[in-house]
Amino acid sequence: EVQLVESGGGLVKPGGSLRLSCAASGFTFSNYIMSWVRQAPGKGLEWVSSTSSSSSYIYYADSVKGRFTISRDNAKNSLYLQMNSLRAEDTAVYYCARGGYCTGTICPMDVWGQGTTVTVSS
Amino acid sequence: EIVLTQSPATLSLSPGERATLSCRASQSVSSYLAWYQQKPGQAPRLLIYDASNRATGIPTRFSGSGSGTDFTLTISSLEPEDFAVYYCQHRSNWPITFGQGTRLEIK
C-alpha cells in the first residue's frame, strides 16, 4: 500500500524550532518529487516547499524562505522539514505529498499523508 | 504569483443534482490545473489533474474542463459522500498556489 506518514509536530514557542519527518512506503521514493503543504486552522491549503527526486532543485514559498529547510534521505525513504524561527502564523497541519502524473518539474500531488499538527504559541 | 479564484465560495445542492465549480487564474496556466477534494479531518485527495484527467480510482461522475485561465469541475449527480471542500491548484510555475476553496454543502 502506498503510504506517507508524518511525524514530529507539536507545541513550540515563537522563535523555536521543530523538525518534521515523513516516512514513505509502498513505492520507489527516490523516483518522486516530494512536497510539504500546510493548512492553518479553518483555512485553505498553502504550498510550503518541494524537492526534486535527487534534491537537485528545491523551492520554497516566500512565507517560509530563509526559515524552513526541506531535505530528503532516499536511502531511508524519508522527507524532512526543518522549521526555524517559528511564528504564530506557522501554526497549521503540515502534510507531505507525492508528486504524481509528472510531465515536468512541478507535479500534481497524488498521495498525501494524514498530516502532523504544529502549534506555535507562548 | 498566480492567483486562483474559486467560485462560488459555498454551493448548496441536494443529492442527485449537478454541481458546477469554477476556478479562474490571474494569468494563463495552460492545462496545468488540478482539483482536490477535502473532507473534515482528512487529507486532500487528488480528483483531476491537467484540467481534465481523472486520477486513479476517481468516479466518472467527476469531470474537469478548461484551459488558459478558466476551469470547471463538474459533478454530474451528487452522492452523499461528495459534500466536502474542493480546491483547485496550478502547476504552471513556482510558486504553486491553491484556490481558496469551494464548500459544497447539502441543501
Q: What is the pLDDT of residues A101-113, one digit of tens each?
A: 887 788 999 999 9
User: Cα(A28)–Cα(A1) distance, rounded to whole angstroms?
Assistant: 12
pLDDT digits (tens, 9 = 90+) for A15-39: 999 999 999 999 999 999 999 999 9
Task: Name A70's bridge partners.
Answer: A81
Cα–Cα nearest to B21, from B59, B52, B56, B64: B64
- A70 to chain B, any CB pair closer than 8 A? The answer is no
pLDDT digits (tens, 9 = 90+) for B43-99: 999 999 999 999 999 999 999 999 999 999 999 999 999 999 999 999 999 999 999
List of chain A residues whose C-beta atoms are within 8 Å of the C-beta of residue B94: 59, 106
Nearest residue in chain A measured CA to CA from B103:
A44
**Residue with grid cell 512541478, as numbered in its chain:** A106
User: Cα(A48)–Cα(A65) distance, rounded to whole angstroms?
Assistant: 9
Nearest-by-Cβ selection for B43 from A61, A108, A112: A112
| Maximum distance among all Cα pairs of chain B, rounded to whole angstroms | 38
Q: What is the pLDDT of residue B34?
A: 98
List of chain B residues whose C-beta atoms are within 8 Å of the C-beta of residue A5: none
List of chain B residues whose C-beta atoms are within 8 Å of the C-beta of residue A62: 95
Selected for mutation to probe chain B from A5, A35, A62, A106 (highest B CB count within 10 Å) is A106
Residue type, A1: E
Asked if B49 and A47 come within 8 Å (Cβ–Cβ), the reply is no
pLDDT digits (tens, 9 = 90+) for B7-29: 999 999 999 999 999 999 999 99
The answer to whether the CB of B4 falls within 8 A of the CB of B99 is yes
User: For chain A, what percent of residues have pLDDT higher than 90?
Assistant: 94
Q: What is the pLDDT of residue B23?
A: 98
Asked if A44 and B100 come within 8 Å (Cβ–Cβ), the reply is yes
- A71 to chain B, any CB pair closer than 8 A? The answer is no
Asked if A108 and B87 come within 8 Å (Cβ–Cβ), the reply is no
pLDDT digits (tens, 9 = 90+) for A43-90: 999 999 999 999 999 999 999 999 999 999 999 999 999 999 999 999
- Smallest Cα distance from A15 to chain B, Å: 25
